[in-house]
Amino acid sequence: MKAAGTDAAAARKCVAATIDGETGRPPAEAQPPSTPTPPPTDETQPPATPTVPPPSEPVPPPVPPTEPATTPPTEQVTPPDAPVPTDIPPTPVDAPEPGADVQGEPTQAERDFDDIYGQYGDPNLPTPMAPPAVYDPWERYNRGMHKFNNAVDRTVARPLARGYVKVVPRPFRLGVSNFFNNLGQPVSAINALLQGKPKQAGQSLGRFLLNSTLGIGGIFDPASDAKLPNKSEDFGQTLGIWGWKNSRFVELPLFGPRTLRDSFGMVGDAPLSPLRQVEADRVRIPLQGLQLVDVRAQLLATDSFREGAEDDYTLVRDAWIQRRNYQIFGDRMRDEDQSLPDYLRDDTNPQVPVDAMPVMPTDGS
């Protein structure tokens, strides 16, 4: 019985050795039989140990969370080489320019600028051709003559005009201006006819007749109350309408700015002036002198524009040419325009009248 049990155990070992040889596993004596390891459970799983940094690197202490730091306002650091800024009072972003209308409306000066340098004519019509540019090949001579005229103006004409304004009341000065303006109406009527404006010629002639009678020689202006427009025309404008558009600028002694075309126009207007028909020098010459003073008094308002000008010659030349171009070309495009101020549209004395210059006596008196 004992031998049989020994044989049975030997047989089991032999079978096990055979199986291990086929599978390549070591014999049962070398490798004990493996038992399946059950999956870890919460009870059997070892507790996780925190990772400890090496001893050579000390663990930084935890930083407690803090609120975002707010940087207090500090003064601007100025580099040592930079200039120290001065305290400048804050300026409102929408602060109006000095002299501007607080309500946002354009000022009178801005309206005048738009009227002068804007386009003429009806905006619904094609864009009109730009007026000729300033043609000034005699600038060197003109500048010298401009200095001479300014010297005469400062020493003679301006003091007389200021004294005239200071002494003579405004109603009397207005009557003097009306009188000389009325004497220029026949010249305007003839030139309006030459320019192909019969209606305007009739209005100028009507003004002359009405003011000469009801206006007591033109001292009063009932024609304006009768809605007869006051439009000044001269032979220089007539030559421009006839085709002499671009003419060189020239400054004449005592007469001031002109163009070569307007110089010829003065010669054409001279025989037509009623003042030139007065034969008595003792009457004509004082009237011509009074007309010169009256013209200069009306131009006193323009002196403020010239004060402080960087180049007075260029200012006077460009302003005169611009205004003259409007009289010739702009007036043809919109005769009924009322947007220009009175002193730019059709004032009574746009320039020194040719009949205002005293004529040397011819009758020996």
CA 197 to chain centre: 36
Distances (CA, A) of 105 to 102, 127, 339: 7, 27, 16
Residue 59: per-residue pLDDT:
53
Beta bridge partners of residue 12, listed in sequence order: none
Task: Kindly state whether residue 71 falls inside one of the protein's structural domains.
Answer: no
Q: Is residue 112 part of a domain?
A: no
Considering only CA atoms, which of 133, 177, 127 is closest in space to residue 297? 177
Distances in whole angstroms, Cα of residue 199 to Cα of each of 105, 131, 202, 216: 37, 25, 5, 25
Task: Taking the CA atoms of 150, 152, 157 and 159 in sequence, report the sign of the dihedral they define.
Answer: positive
**Of 95-104, 127-136, 150-159, 307-316, highest mean pLDDT:** 150-159
pLDDT at residue 257 above 90?
yes
313-325 tens-digit pLDDT: 999 999 999 999 9
Q: Is residue 222 part of a domain?
A: yes
Confidence of residue 275 (pLDDT cuts 50, 70, 90): confident
In a domain, 126, yes or no: no
How much is the average pLDDT of 347-355? 54
The total domain count for the chain is: 1
Contact 138, 263 (CB under 8 A): no
- Is residue 105 in some structural domain? no
pLDDT the model gives residue 362: 43
The Cα 266–Cα 223 span in angstroms is 26
For residue 135, give the nearest of 260, 267, 226 by alpha carbon. Answer: 260
Domain that holds residue 292: 132-333+342-356
Residue 99 lies in a domain: no
Q: Is residue 292 part of a domain?
A: yes
Task: Judge whether 143 lies within some domain.
Answer: yes
